[in-house]
């Protein structure tokens, strides 16, 4: 199998020779597959901060990153909670636009 393009705004360090859809001229909306850790609404900010601190600490360990992320084809991004929340909202807006353009109703 040969990768033709990736669906991100920048090339992945996991496959640096594979161009992005944008580099190939695609100008439409792009959504991405992502994994993230979330907590229930209303979780106190100090708990969110502590959980994030621990996830970043563990996720930054080279052996952990390699074995549990990179070797599985995942590109780890250890954002702050506010950054991930913004990403989720932006992705939701794009996905809604794609669904509506396809003539479907969001569910």
- pLDDT 10s digit of each residue in the chain, 107 long? 899 998 888 888 888 999 999 999 998 888 777 888 899 999 999 999 999 999 999 999 999 998 988 888 888 889 999 999 999 999 899 888 888 888 987 67
CA atoms within 13 Å, Cβ hemisphere of 53: 6
C-beta atoms surrounding 47 within 10 Å: 10
Six-digit token string for 107: 């569910």
Six-digit token string for 106: 């969001």
Q: What are the domain boundaries of the chain?
A: 1-30, 45-101
Six-digit token string for 99: 């669904």
Confidence (pTM) = 0.72
How many Å apart are CA 27 and CA 99, to the nearest integer?
A: 17
């Amino acid at each position: 199998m040969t990768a033709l393009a990736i669906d991100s705004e920048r090339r992945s360090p996991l496959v640096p020779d594979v161009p992005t859809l944008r580099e190939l001229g695609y100008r439409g909306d792009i959504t991405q597959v992502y994994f993230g850790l979330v907590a229930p609404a209303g979780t106190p900010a100090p708990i969110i901060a502590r959980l994030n601190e621990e996830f970043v600490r563990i996720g930054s360990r080279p052996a952990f990153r390699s074995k549990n992320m990179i070797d599985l084809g995942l590109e780890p991004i250890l954002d702050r909670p506010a950054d991930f929340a913004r990403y989720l909202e932006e992705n939701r807006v794009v996905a809604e636009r794609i669904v509506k353009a396809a003539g479907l109703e969001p569910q």
